[in-house]
Structure 1
Amino acid sequence: MMKKLQLLVVVLMLPLLAFAQKSVSASEILAKINRGEAVSYKNATIEGDLDMTKLQNMKMKQDGKNSTKEYTSTVTAPLTFVNCTFKGDVLAYFNPENGINLKISKNELYKTNFEKDVVFENCSFKEGAAFKYSAFDGKASFVSSRFAEEALFKYAEFEKGVNFSNVRFERDANFKYVEFPEMVSFAGAAFKQEANFKYTKFEGGVNFEKASFDGAANFKYAKISDNFNIKGARFNGGDDFKYTQLNNRQVSLTALLDMNK
C-alpha cells in the first residue's frame, strides 16, 4: 500500500517537475557564447546580469568626429531561450556614462551584434533589456515575453523577420529609428506605457492586430510600406501620428482605423 501511495505521489508531481525552472548562472551562458557554441535553454532561471557587451571577440572603432570609442561584440552562434526568467539585466548595449539610458556618452559605448537567429520566447525580463544599435542578421523572436523595465531597441537593425506577438511591455517600448525590412508582428502586444515608433520604417508592413496601447502611441514620422494592420487594436492613451506615411501618403490614426474596419 505504501509503495502504491509513493508511486501515486511521484506521478502527480511529474507535471510540476516538468514546469519547474532550473537555475543557470549568466556566467555559464557567457562562457558558451565566448566559445562560439549554440546556446539553448528551456524552463530556466538566469541568475546575474547577462552582459554580452564585452565578449572576447570585442573590437574597437573610434569615430574621429566626436572621439567616441565604439566597442562591438559579436554573438556568432544561435541563442534560444524558451520559458526562461532573467533576474538580472540582459545587455547588448551599454554606455558607461549613462548606463542603458538613451543618451550617448561622448567617450565610449558598447554594443552587441547577432549573426544567427535569436529567440526569447515566453521569457520574463525582470530588469533592463537593452538591444540599442544591435544588428540582427538572423531571425528574431520575442513571442509572448514580458519586459518589466524599458525594452530598448532604438536604432536596432533587423535583416530578417521579427516577431513581438503577444509581448507585454510594462514600461516604455523604444523602437525609435528601427528599420524592419520584412513584415513584423506586434499582434496582441500590450504596451502599458509609451510605445515609441517615431521615425521607424516598416518596409514589409506591420501587424498590430488586437494590440493595446495604454500609454502614448508615438508613430510620428513613421513610414509604413504595404500593410498596416490595426484591426481590433485599442488606443487608450495619447497618440501622435503626425507626418506618419502609409505607402508614401500621409495618413492619420482615424483614417487607419477606418481602413481596418
Structure 2
Amino acid sequence: MAAAGVVAFVVMVRVAAHAPVADRPGLQIEAIKYGLGLFAAGGAAAALLLGFRRQQHTELDAAERRITDLYTKAVEQLGAESPAVRMGGMYALERIAQSNVDQRQTIVNVICAYLRTPFTPPSPDPSSADAQGQQELQVRLTAQSILTGHLRPSAAGSLFWPGIDLDLTGATLAEWRLSDAEVHKAIFTGATFSSPALFSDTVFTDAVTFASATFDAKVHFIRAIFTAKTTFERVAVHGEAAFSGALFHGAVDFSGASFAADADWHTTTFQDDAHFTEVRFDGNAEFTRANFAEWVTFRGSAFAGGVRFSETYFRSDAALATMLAEVRPLSQDDRRDVWPPGWRLREGTDGRGELLFTGLPSR
C-alpha cells in the first residue's frame, strides 16, 4: 500500500511539472498535501505495526514467565516433606505438560528423575507400620500413572503425548502398567520391578533396553512391538515371562538373562538376529511356532525345565549351529522336550544332557 502511494505521489509531481505554467502552482500544492498525508499515514501504520509486535512480545514473555513460575513451584513441591504436597506437584506438572506441548518431554524427564531416586517398597503386609513407605508409594504410583496414562494412543482427545522418551535407569517401579501404549526411546537399565509389570500390546518406536533389570514378579510383553534394537542382557525374571506374539523388527539380545519360572515366546517373530547366549531357563521354555527370520544362537544356555520348539521356523540349517546347550539330568522322567529338527539330546557329563545337531532328516 505504501509503495502504491509513493508511486501515485511521483506521478502527481510529474504531472504538475508538465502542466501549463498557470496551473503548476496549484497542482504542486496538491501534490505536496498528498505526499504529507501519505507519509503521515505511513508513519501511523508503522507505529501501529510496531505497537502490535511489542504487544505480542509482551504477551509471549508474560506467558513464558507464567509457565516458568508454575514449573518452578511444581518442582519445588516434589521436594516437600509432605506426601500430599509432592503429589500436588506431580499433578501441577501434568497440567503444565497438557497445556504446553513443547514442555511435555521436559515434564516427563522431571517425573522420571523423581522415580529414579532411591526407594524401598514397603512390605505388602497390611499390618506393617511403614506409613512413610506407603505414602511415598502412593506418590510414585501417581507419577507412574501420569506417565503411562498419557502414552496410550487410545487416550481421549489430546491426552495422548506422542514421541515421548522414558529414562528410568535404576528406578524402582511398583505395579507398572504400560500396556496398549506407544513409547519412543525407552531406557530401563538396572530398573527393579517389585511387582507384576505389564507391557502387553505396547509399541516401542525406537531403541529400548532393559539391561540388568530385575523383575521380582511376572512380566508380560504379549504382542508388544519393538521397531529397533532391543536389549534384555542380564535381566533377572523371578516370575513368569510372557513374550508370546511379540514382534522384534530389530536385533534382540537376551545374553546372560535368567528366567526362574516359565518363559514363553510362542508365535513370537524375530525379524533380525536373536541372541540367547548363556541364558538360564529354570522353568519351561516355550518357542512353539516362533519365527527366527535371521541368525539365532543359544550357545551356552542351560535348560533346567522343559523345552518346546514345535513348528518353529528357522531361516537356515546353520541358524542353530551354535545351539550347544546344557540340559538338566536326563534321569528325570518328566522331560517332554521338543527340539528343532536335526537336534537330539545325548548323555553328557554329570548326567546332564548335551544338545547335538545330527543333520536334518531326509525329506
How would you bin the TM-score normalised by the shorter chain? 0.5 to 0.7
- Deviation of 1:24 after TM superposition, in Å, equals 5.5
Moved more, 189-198 or 81-90: 81-90
**d(CA) in 1 for partners of 2:222 and 2:347?**
30
Matched, 1:74 2:178: no
Corresponding residue to 2:185 among 46, 49, 56: 49
1:2-81 to 2 correspondence within 5 Å? 21=154, 23=160, 34=171, 36-46=173-183, 48-53=184-189, 72-81=190-199
Task: Tell me, yes or no, if structure 1 residue 211 matches structure 2 residue 341.
Answer: no
Q: Indicate which of 118, 123, 131 corresponds to 2:224.
A: 123
Could you say which residue in structure 1 is the equivalent of 2:202? 84
Give the AA of the match of 2:227: K
Secondary structure at the aligned position of 1:39 is classed as coil
Within the alignment, does 1:193 sit opposite 2:302 as a pair? no
Q: How does 1:87-126 map to 2 (within 5 A)?
A: 87-93=205-211, 111-126=212-227
Following superposition, the deviation at residue 78 of structure 1 comes to: 2.1
Aligned residue for 1:253?
Answer: 357
Question: What root-mean-square deviation, in Å, do the aligned CA atoms of Structure 1 and Structure 2 show?
Answer: 3.4
Could you say what secondary structure the match of 1:224 adopts?
Answer: strand
Q: In 2, Cα distance between the equivalents of 1:250 and 1:30?
A: 41
CA shift for structure 1 position 207? 0.4
Whichever of the two has the greater Rg, that structure is 2
Question: Structure 2 vs 1, CA of residues 221 and 252 (structure 1 numbering), >3 Å: closer, same or farther?
Answer: closer
SS, match of residue 191 in structure 2: strand
Question: One-letter code of the match for 1:221?
Answer: L
C-alpha separation between the residues in 2 aligned to 1:160 and 1:167? 18
Contact 1:210 1:234 in 2 (8 A): no
Q: Specify the SS of the correspondent of 2:310.
A: coil
Q: Contact between 1:117 and 1:140, CA under 8 Å: does it hold in 2?
A: yes
Structure-1 residue corresponding to 2:85? none
Q: Which amino acid aligns with 2:225?
A: S
Q: Distance in 1 between matches of 2:230 and 2:292?
A: 15
Aligned with 1:202 (options 300, 303, 313): 303
Does the alignment pair 1:221 with 2:324? yes
Q: For 2:173 and 2:284, locate their aligned partners in 1 and report how far apart those are by CA, in whole Å.
A: 30
* Aligned-pair CA distance for 1:116: 1.9
Three-state SS of the structure 2 residue aligned to 1:41 is coil
1:134 to 219, 235, 246: 235
Give the number of the structure whose residues are more often strand, by fraction: 1
Instruction: Please give the TM-score of this superposition, normalised by the length of structure 1.
Output: 0.64
For 1:168, the equivalent position in structure 2 comes to 269
Kept in 1: contact 2:273–2:294 (CA 8 A): yes
Give the deviation of 1:42 after TM superposition: 3.4
Q: 1: CA distance between counterparts of 2:275 and 2:298?
A: 7
Q: 1:28 to 1:224 in 2, by over 3 A?
A: same
- For 1:190 and 1:92, how far apart are their aligned partners in 2? 22
Contact 1:114/1:137, CA 8 A, preserved across alignment: yes
Give the number of aligned pairs. 197
Q: Partner letter of residue 86 of structure 1?
A: F
Contact 1:219 1:242 in 2 (8 A): no
Check the 8 A contact 1:42/1:83 in 2, yes or no.
yes
Alpha-carbon separation, structure 2, partners of 1:186 and 1:38: 28
What stretches of structure 2 of length at least 5 have no aligned partner? 1-152, 329-334
Query: CA separation in 2, counterparts of 1:179 and 1:204?
Result: 10
One-letter amino acid of the counterpart of residue 37, structure 1: A
CA gap of 1:77–1:25, structure 2 versus 1, over 3 A, is: farther
Q: Does 1:147 align with 2:269?
A: no
Question: Per-residue deviation at 1:75?
Answer: 2.4
Mark the CA change 1:256 to 1:229 in structure 2 (over 3 Å): closer, same or farther: farther
Q: CA deviation at 1:82?
A: 2.0
Partner amino acid, structure 1, of 2:336: N
- Give the percent of matched residue pairs that are identical in Structure 1 and Structure 2: 20
Unaligned runs of 5+ in 1: 1-19, 54-71, 94-110
Rate the CA distance shift 1:144–1:173 in 2: closer, same or farther, 3 A.
same
